[in-house]
Amino acid sequence: GVKDYKLTYYTPDYETKDTDILAAFRVSPQPGVPPEEAGAAVAAESSTGTWTTVWTDGLTSLNRYKGRCYHIESVAGEENQYIAYVAYPLDLFEEGSVTNMFTSIVGNVFGFKALRALRLEDLRIPTSYSKTFQGPPHGIQVERDKLNKYGRPLLGCTIKPKLGLSAKNYGRAVYECLRGGLDFTKDDENVNSQPFMRWRDRFVF
């Protein structure tokens, strides 16, 4: 049958660890759903939980891997809004992957039916996890050496319109920008390899 999340995932006595990822969610439970259950549901659905007990639960240590709603408080001046604090063990996340972390924490939990509204308000990432990200392959000095530009800020721009230019016209815009004195241009974040401008064609021009 359907189980109450708060029996497993609401742990007000839990003391957070330096290695935990801590998240603060603003939750608005559906009518009839207690705030503790709503907070526990967020912790469950963004970690090891599902709506019912399954036999494979016995094949792992849920206590080691589960997210925990360790505190919940009402939002002053707001009706039926609460801040749910959730701790996640570091082993839940792939090292050096922002995508994996956010898919877990802000993935399918936002469509959960027990909640009328949900918003991630804050996130604390421990140093031990931050250190797993390699960062850029080189720094500003290498960029300056490649461009042979020193002693001033580097100046660049994004090509506009951001969508719709052919590869040839995109290349023309880049050429004019660099010829006019810019140090670099960049693609707009919407530009990938759409039919009107494949990235290989863009690279050629």
Co-location of 90 and 25 in the same domain: yes
Provide the domain count of the chain.
2
Please give the model's pTM, rounded to 2 decimal places: 0.71
pLDDT value of position 135 = 81
One domain, residues 161 and 107:
no
As a whole number of angstroms, the distance between CA 65 and CA 53 comes to 16
Q: Which of 105, 131, 157 is the last residue of a domain?
A: 131
The residue written with tokens 């993935």 in the block is 107
Q: Could you report the per-residue pLDDT of 111-146, keeping only the tens digit for each?
A: 677 889 999 999 999 999 999 998 888 888 998 999
- The reported pLDDT for the residue numbered 89 is 95
Give the residue from 113, 131, 149 where a domain finishes: 131
Check whether residue 63 and residue 124 sit in a common domain.
yes
pLDDT value for 76: 94
**Which tokens sit at 12?**
């007000």
Q: Is the pLDDT of residue 1 over 60?
A: no
- Whichever domain contains 100, its CATH number is 3.30.70.150
What integer pLDDT is reported at residue 111 of this predicted model? 66
Beta carbons within 10 angstroms of residue 129's beta carbon: 16
Residues 196 and 121 in one domain: no
- Check whether residue 67 and residue 35 sit in a common domain: yes
Do 38 and 89 sit in the same domain of this protein?
A: yes
Q: Which of 131, 158, 186 is the last residue of a domain?
A: 131
pLDDT range class, residue 8, cuts 50, 70, 90: confident
Do both 120 and 180 map to the same domain? no
- Kindly state whether residues 100 and 42 are assigned to the same domain: yes
Range of the domain at 122: 5-131
Tens-digit pLDDT profile for residues 149-183: 999 999 999 999 989 999 999 999 999 999 999 99
Which of 92, 98, 112 lies closest to 45, judged by CA? Answer: 112
What pLDDT digit, counting tens, does each position of 19-61 carry?
Answer: 999 999 999 999 999 999 999 999 988 888 877 777 777 787 8
Return the pLDDT at 151.
94
Tell me the three state secondary structure of residue 85: strand
Give the start-end residues of each E strand in 35-75.
68-74
The gap between the terminal CA atoms of the chain, to the nearest Å, is 61
So what's the pLDDT on residue 2? 56
169 and 103 belong to one structural domain: no
Do 112 and 145 share a domain, yes or no?
no
Task: For the chain, give the number of residues.
Answer: 205
How far apart (Å, rounded) are the C-alpha atoms in residues 81 and 159?
43
Q: Is there a single domain that holds both residue 169 and residue 81?
A: no
Are residue 65 and residue 150 in the same domain, yes or no?
A: no
Alpha helix (H) residue ranges in 46-190: 62-65, 98-105, 127-130, 140-147, 167-179
Residue range 51-109, pLDDT digits in tens: 777 777 778 788 888 999 999 999 999 999 999 999 999 999 999 999 899 988 987 67
Q: Is the pLDDT of residue 17 over 80?
A: yes
